A and B are shown apart, each in its own frame.
Chain A
Amino acid sequence: DVKVTQSSRYLVKRTGEKVFLECVQDMDHENMFWYRQDPGLGLRLIYFSYDVKMKEKGDIPEGYSVSREKKERFSLILESASTNQTSMYLCASSSEIYGYTFGSGTRLTVV
């Protein structure tokens, strides 16, 4: 089974802090994605990557950056956390054959 592992289930950070959310997949998938999930808004794409060191902006990239130095790892960075970034963050990886596999999510609270 494909596994997508997000390093933290819950995080509480202070406004202005730099926050790193880590995601690792074990199936050698080319594609990796970061979404945020908010009630009534569904899943909105923040950034995605089709290959190592490649990144593409999604629909809501403002306030975020990403890093993909290794194929299996895709990190989401909040440069200066703000309260409106309090959300559930979901990482996913995909292949043409197996489609998307999501991690269990990181619930981030910015206080």
Chain B
Amino acid sequence: QQQVKQSPQSLIVQKGGISIINCAYENTAFDYFPWYQQFPGKGPALLIAIRPDVSEKKEGRFTISFNKSAKQFSLHIMDSQPGDSATYFCAAKGAKGGSRLTFGEGTQLTVNP
């Protein structure tokens, strides 16, 4: 059972555009929501994360928007660059689950020059 649903599965954006990836979760006990970025041949690396006490977190061109009532969160990449082309995973973790992260299905982002 997939507790974190991610969409779209793939996304093509022009350079300078905005990339938006969405995730929805079911478990209301989740209290930590990270996004991971994975380049080919590498393991995923933490990009940005949010906790449900805030509705938005911004780091450079990357922003997480969080909607607790809808149980949804999204990643926005402003001014997308070809170097952002990668696979992005959302994830969630709750206190009861210990340290284990539950991941979404992944989004393959391609930014065309």
Contact = CB atoms under 8 A, between A and B. Distances in A.
Contacts of A40: 9, 105-106
B104 A42 contact: yes
B42 A42 contact: no
Contacts of A43: 44, 89, 103, 106
Contact of A31 (B43, B89, B99): B99
A94 B43 contact: no
B101 interface: yes
Interface string A41-55: 111110010100000
Contacts of A31: 98-99
A42 B103 contact: yes
Given A42-B103, A43-B89, A48-B100, A102 B41 contact: no
The bracket for how many chain A residues form the interface is 20 to 34
Interface in B24-61: 34, 36, 41-46, 49
The bracket for how many chain B residues form the interface is 20 to 34
Contact of B45 (A39, A96, A102): A102
A102 B43 contact: yes
A101 B36 CA distance: 10
A42 B100 contact: no
Question: Top 9 A-B pairs ranked by shortest CB distance?
Answer: A102-B43, A43-B103, A42-B105, A42-B103, A31-B99, A42-B106, A94-B99, A102-B44, A104-B43
Given A45-B101, A90-B44, A105-B42, 4 more contacts: A40-B9, A50-B98, A99-B49, A103-B43
Interface of A: 4, 31, 33, 35, 39-45, 48, 50, 58, 90, 92, 94, 96, 99-105
15 contacts: A4-B43, A31-B99, A33-B100, A39-B106, A41-B105, A42-B6, A42-B89, A42-B103, A43-B103, A45-B101, A99-B49, A100-B46, A101-B43, A102-B43, A104-B41
